[in-house]
Amino acid sequence: SGPLKDMDFSVQEGGGPRILHQFTLEPPAVSFRASGEKAGIIDIEPRTGILYINGSLDWETKQVHKLQVESLDESGNTVKGPYAVTIYVEDINDNPPEFDQKRYFGVVRQNSRPGKPFMHVHATDRDDPKTPHAQLSYSILHHFPNPYEEMLFQIDNATGAISPSRTGSYYLDPQKQDTFILVVFVKDMAGTTTNAFSSSVDVIIVVMESLWKAPPTIHIKENSTQVHPVNITKVRSNEPGVIYDIFEKEKLPRLPFSISENGDIYVTEPLDREEKDTYTFFVVTKDKGGELVDKPLQIHVIVEDINDNPPVCQKDLTVIEVQENEREGSNIGTVFAMDMDKKDTLNSRLQFHIQSQEPEFPMKNLFYVQQDTGTLHLAGRSLSKRESAKYFLKVLVTDPDFKTICDVEVHVIDINDQIPIFEKSDVSIFNTILDVPI
């Protein structure tokens, strides 16, 4: 108790009738009077000065009650005051959290990124949000069906955002199970005490097929004469408004592909299979903040061969030596040629023909070439150096569209040419040559 002055009080809500204070009378005052936000239960006893509450205050109804108190003399005139008496109501946890909806419906696409929310639940608690009484924590109580060890869905316990778990991102498949029911639980007191209030709600989730799928391997014919860029495929995100981008896997000096803002993929220039025959890159989607939205998709491109390379002779001139005593039919050497087009296809299939022989003495067709291997053989007879020491052959090498001529020179040699044996007279000539001063 004490004399009349400004005073503040804190009262817990729901506490029942009580006395807060007693003001002492100071002559000539004989009584007190209270006015203001009395809520029908707060008052002061005029003669004793007892300030009391005749019932329970409710924080959710009114958090502060402001009253004015004055003291009066016999004639009812104010002696002191009015003074401010303020009663602050303290919250207690007397309200359970309640979900905003009777039940929730959500749609999730197959292959969604783990942790990417596709829906939210939300509950409200009427208690003081500045206290744990209205701090809510969400969790998944039941998961029907629950076919894997880890749940397919997860909930952010603070925000109520529901997203696929890592397992869900991998296994969700509308072909296997297209509907799930989650029972989501919410507790106040931040979920930390067992005597918190709680509520639950059903969440029905439908799984839909993903639009975000890698297209099958793309085949592009090399050296296309079409006007570029040429649309080759498209991708579509499950999310609206994403930004598409291409992410290069190989460290290429340039990547001849682009993607439009709606996911159409283009080749930007003609490709050359002989330069590079496959391309692999990723398509990604990002949100406005630059965060990845979908899992990157791998795009695989195969450059298809066309016959755009003629055969090439390995040497400008192939020189072959043949001894006079080589028998007819003998293999005397090979004309080598290659073709840059795709191996083991007709585009690089080479065939060989002898187009001409110089001189045609003592007859034509002294040689033949195996048409699929390029090996040269003596035809009908052995060669004689006295008839001709050299023959010039033009060998025609063809693929299905191109032809190339490879030059071959055949040297006819005898044993003595091959292994020089110097007779005495020859040696003296040799020495004479060496003796000549330069």
Least Å distance between CB 43 and Ca ion?
A: 24
Least Å distance between CB 187 and Ca ion?
A: 9
Residue with smaller CB distance to Ca ion, 56 or 167: 56
Least Å distance between CB 156 and Ca ion?
A: 20
* Positions in the binding site for Ca ion (CB under 5 A): 59, 91, 93-95, 125, 127, 133, 188, 273, 305, 307-309, 339, 341, 347, 399
- Both tokens of 296, joined, read 């990157």
Among 197, 200, 201, residue whose Cα is nearest residue 96: 197
Residue with smaller CB distance to Ca ion, 167 or 398: 398
Residue with smaller CB distance to Ca ion, 125 or 294: 125
- DSSP H/E element including 367: strand 367-369
Query: How far does the chain reach from its first CA to its final CA, in angstroms?
Result: 141
Residue with smaller CB distance to Ca ion, 7 or 396: 396
Residue with smaller CB distance to Ca ion, 177 or 373: 373
Least Å distance between CB 394 and Ca ion?
A: 20
Backbone φ and ψ for 284, nearest 5 degrees, come out as -125, 160
Residue with smaller CB distance to Ca ion, 350 or 393: 350
User: What CA–CA distance (Å, rounded) separates 361 from 377?
Assistant: 17
- Both tokens of 6, joined, read 């400004």
Tell me the residue type at 121. Answer: V
Least Å distance between CB 18 and Ca ion?
A: 18
User: What CA–CA distance (Å, rounded) separates 393 from 416?
Assistant: 25
Residue with smaller CB distance to Ca ion, 57 or 265: 57
Least Å distance between CB 65 and Ca ion?
A: 16
Least Å distance between CB 335 and Ca ion?
A: 17
Cβ within 8 Å of residue 299, ≥6 positions away: 214, 215, 218, 233, 257, 265, 279, 280, 281, 282, 283
Among 216, 217, 214, 258, residue whose Cα is nearest residue 237: 214
Cβ within 8 Å of residue 405, ≥6 positions away: 313, 355, 394, 395, 396, 397
User: What CA–CA distance (Å, rounded) separates 178 from 172?
Assistant: 8
